[in-house]
Amino acid sequence: MAEACVKLDQSPDIVSLDPQLLSDVLNDIERIGEMTGSQAKSKEIVTGLQQRINAVTDACSAVSLRPSVFCIEWVDPIMCAGHWIPEMIEMAGGLDAFGDKTRGSFVIDWEDVKKADPDKIILMPCGFGVSRALKDLESLQDRDGWSSLKAVQNQEVYVIDAGSYTSRSGPRLVIGLEMLAEIIHPELNAGLIPENSVLRLYT
């Protein structure tokens, strides 16, 4: 990187992006557009993404039942997904069982998971696709009380392609939001999940 910068005709602008919420991601897209002289294109992209976000929030805003959702970002140790995920769960009509929009991911005690007994569990190991995430499922299934959890009993456990749609900041997070909306409220959202990106377990 340093060698590449030396060869440039002028000193580069170093841009640091650290989005915490979905709105931050959209702001970053516009920011990059401004810095690269692509304001019109970045505005077009953001407008389209915002319309899709609005479609989800409009569909889910008036729901009478908001199921509790536990998003697992890592299995050993068990980590609750943070950053934009709690916000996305809320937008999609759910209640994040542990996540906090003001903080990143964090380690959580298994006993707390059992006490919370979430309605839905979504396995989204950071950077992993569905097939790789499934390799971590065994360690969860071996935990005391896993089979007694409400989500397991009701076949509401999902594995998603986090590497493509939830782990990295960028436009595809909106697809991740749409996926969460269909998982949490399938009666309101249909046809939003890309092929082979979500696996529902125990069905």
pLDDT band at 65 (very low <50, low <70, confident <90, very high): very high
Residue with tokens 């696709």: 129
| Nearest Cα to Cα of residue 30 among 54, 16, 47 | 47
Side-chain-side CA neighbours of residue 4 (13 Å): 2
What tokens appear for 8 in the block?
């440039």
The tens digit of pLDDT for each residue in 66-118 reads 999 999 999 999 999 999 999 999 999 999 999 777 778 899 999 999 999 99
Question: What type of residue sits at position 31?
Answer: R
Give the Cα separation of 72 and 110 in Å (integer): 11
Which of 3.90.1170.50, 3.40.50.1980, 1.10.3720.10, 3.40.640.10 is the CATH number of 68-200? 3.40.50.1980
Whether pLDDT at 1 is above 80: no
- Residue 30 has a CB neighbour count (10 Å cut-off) of 15
Tell me the pLDDT of the chain averaged across its residues.
Answer: 91
Give the Cα separation of 75 and 132 in Å (integer): 12
Q: Where are the domains of the chain?
A: 68-200
Whether pLDDT at 142 is above 70: yes
Whether pLDDT at 29 is above 90: yes
What tokens appear for 27 in the block?
């702001």
Alpha-helical (H) ranges within the chain are 2-6, 22-35, 39-60, 85-91, 110-116, 130-134, 137-141, 150-153, 162-165, 173-184
Q: Which range is least confidently modeled, 40-49, 97-106, 139-148, 171-180?
A: 97-106
Please check whether residue 195 is in contact with residue 202, taking contact to mean a CB–CB distance below 8 angstroms: no
Please check whether residue 52 is in contact with residue 178, taking contact to mean a CB–CB distance below 8 angstroms: yes
pLDDT band at 170 (very low <50, low <70, confident <90, very high): very high
pLDDT (0 to 100) of residue 9: 64
CA-based torsion, 86, 87, 88, 93: positive or negative: positive
61: part of which helix (H) or strand (E)? none
pLDDT (0 to 100) of residue 86: 94
pLDDT (0 to 100) of residue 102: 75
